Amino acid sequence: NMTAKQIRVMVLNHMEKLDRTLFRLEQGFELQFRLGPTLQGKHVHVHTNYPAEGERFERHKFRVLDWINPTGREDDSDKFCTLDLKISGSYQYYFGHGDKEKSGGGYIVVDPVLRVGEDNHVLPLDCISIQTYLSKCLGPLDEWLDRLRVAKEAGYNMIHFTPLQTLGESRSCYSLADQLELNPDFSPPGQTYTWTDVGNLVEKMKNEWNMLCITDVVYNHTAANSKWIKKHPECGYNLVNSPHLKPAWVLDRALWHVTCAIANGKYKDRGLPALIQNHEHLHAIRGVLWQDVFPKIKLWEFFQVKVEPMVEQFRTLLQSGAKSDRSKTEGKQQLKIIQDPQFRRFGNTVDMNSALETFVPHGPGAIEDCCNWLRRRLEELNGEQYHEIKHHQEQATICIVDTVSYERLADHGPKLGPVTRKHPLVTRYFTFPFEEATLEQDLELMNQPEKSCHFLAHNGWVMGDDPLRNFAEPGSNVYIRRELICWGDSIKLRYGNGPEDCPYLWAHMQKYTEITAKHCVGVRLDNCHSTPLHVAEAMLAAARSVRPNLYVIAELFTGSELIDNVFVNRLGITSLIRGMCSLAFHHLLTSCCAKPI
């Protein structure tokens, strides 16, 4: 018997933006766009990036759909435009009417079709049962089948391998030293296995065991000892391409020197021994921070103006008869500090046009009066900056002390023992690949680009943060406030807005994606909630160009179904990982069962 084609109808309504509403469809379905009451009688045009038959999918390439009027009636009640859904993935549509480019839109997600066995029979998505294996524990590749057989006999039909690539120094499953190379641990002495051997094993499991295999893609970070990032430090957040991190880096260096001092017993006479055992020791840490560290590093100077040069510049303008340029301002502009893009100490300025608008001389001696008024206002602004940085330092103190309390005192914590260079007071937020020196000597390196480009920010997790915000970008104070639960073995990757911002990184990670998609039927998006959406979109498009029926599972913890839908819609996620996330052990999964959304 012939099965009738399933038809789904999308009713379009004016100003209905459904970016956070999920529409899942199956391959073989026909999707019809019809006009709702608010668009009847209007000249509506519908655009989509779902490719025309025979064409290749391009995310940013939209085409206009043709309207079909089956009855030939003059009204719009029966006309529709249609998509014959044959390709899995995430697709966008939008519509407008008349001259309006966009008056609504949303996404559709088309599910992949997974096949197993030599006869390629369909494995329904709601029948998937996954067993996760820590790849690094499986031994040589030629012994894997013996170890995986238990999953087959237990009834699992999919295996999730943690990353198969070369691991970093920490040996964490999710800190990769080389995204393109197979983990050498899988090759026994005298033999070298390749990605082709992995592909053969996966194919054997698919055909003979009716089991499919997926593995992770980790886009957010790379291992701190990755050789390629030392050659291409622009791929991370450093003090050259991200100068807004300079104050946080200064604090981080100061905390490292506090670690060294505590480890050497220099604070013992102030009630702070190397072995932190009680709340009195925690109180002593607060004292060291507020009495020694903060006054010494003077972070507020990065956010203030040097008053006298600003006043002299203003005086010169007044003496030359300069007036405010009204064309540059919309009404009277409040005088405020303009942040120096290079974040130099006292490198900030103020808008002199606003100063001329605010302080206007009238009569003899008025120029000096205006200069004094400006001086007082600049000192007030500097004071405001000082207090704002003080608030950041208060939060940093809370986070530092809470971290020490958890790591050294808490019964449920790791009980790290004495403060040492191996187990510092707090995890370092930045790499420092140079020999130890004094703090003063370290800080001199900050203004040497050939050195400071190698001070790379580590990645981590921020409790309760907005998953759609990048916490390492300008405007975020996460690093200076020490709010990052830091993974000291991994460097946060900096993609920018597109491949033109960091060509090497985008090319490297696309190769990594294509290798993965070639050898496995699906991917697990590690740390999906922190991966920039435009990066994951581009990489999954590359993966689907290699494997059109790509199964995508994501580790997604946003705390909001609507935000979940943003990720699911834009990335075409098939299944979500739900459950407890152990921050202490960085995603050491043992097993999971994935359900389609």
Tokens of residue 283, six digits: 């109180």
Same domain, 188 and 316: no
Same domain, 247 and 389: yes
Domain housing 382: 240-456
Nearest to 255 by CA among 403, 35, 128, 108: 403
**CATH code, 178:** 3.20.20.80
Same domain, 396 and 418: yes
Query: What is 412-468 written as a DSSP string?
Result: TS----S--SSS-SS--SB---S----HHHHHHGGG-HHHHTT-PBEEEE-TT--TT
pLDDT band at 595; cut points 50, 70, 90:
very low
pLDDT at 586: 37
pLDDT at 553: 95
Handedness of CA 249, 251, 254, 260 (dihedral sign): negative
Same domain, 244 and 185: no
pLDDT, mean of residues 285-293: 97
SS3 annotation, 128-167: CCEEEECHHHCCCHHHHHHHHHHHHHCCCCEEEECCCEEE
Which of 111, 146, 166 corresponds to the end of one domain? 111
pLDDT band at 466; cut points 50, 70, 90:
confident
pLDDT, mean of residues 409-417: 95
pLDDT, mean of residues 410-439: 95
What is the domain count for the chain?
A: 3
Same domain, 183 and 268: no
Same domain, 130 and 65: no
Cβ atoms 79, 69 nearer than 8 A: yes
Same domain, 102 and 131: no
Residue 101 has pLDDT above 80, yes or no: yes
Tens digit of each residue's pLDDT (9 = 90 or more) over 102-128: 999 999 999 999 999 999 999 999 999
Handedness of CA 141, 147, 150, 153 (dihedral sign): positive
Does a structural domain hold residue 296?
yes
pLDDT, mean of residues 419-424: 96
Does a structural domain hold residue 482?
no
Does a structural domain hold residue 480?
no
Does a structural domain hold residue 464?
no
**CATH code, 88:** 2.60.40.420
Residue 590 has pLDDT above 90, yes or no: no
Same domain, 89 and 214: no
Does a structural domain hold residue 463?
no
Which of 89, 111, 133 corresponds to the end of one domain? 111
pLDDT band at 332; cut points 50, 70, 90:
low
pLDDT band at 464; cut points 50, 70, 90:
confident
Tens digit of each residue's pLDDT (9 = 90 or more) over 193-203: 999 999 999 99
Does a structural domain hold residue 117?
no
Same domain, 44 and 92: yes
- Helix, strand, coil % over all residues of the chain, rounded to 5: 35, 20, 45
Nearest to 205 by CA among 157, 142, 162, 163: 157
Same domain, 32 and 181: no
pLDDT at 587: 37
Does a structural domain hold residue 119?
no
Dmax of the chain from CA atoms?
A: 101
Does a structural domain hold residue 500?
no
Residue 349 has pLDDT above 70, yes or no: yes
Tokens of residue 399, six digits: 């986070």
For the chain, percent of residues with pLDDT exceeding 70 = 94
pLDDT band at 589; cut points 50, 70, 90:
very low
Handedness of CA 456, 460, 461, 466 (dihedral sign): positive
Tokens of residue 467, six digits: 């998953």
Which of 456, 474, 491 corresponds to the end of one domain? 456
Residue spans of alpha helices (H) in 42-143: none
* Structure letter (DSSP) for residue 61: -
Same domain, 275 and 346: yes
pLDDT at 596: 44
pLDDT, mean of residues 554-567: 87
Same domain, 334 and 452: yes
Tens digit of each residue's pLDDT (9 = 90 or more) over 208-265: 999 999 999 999 999 999 999 999 999 999 999 999 999 999 999 999 999 999 999 9
pLDDT at 331: 54
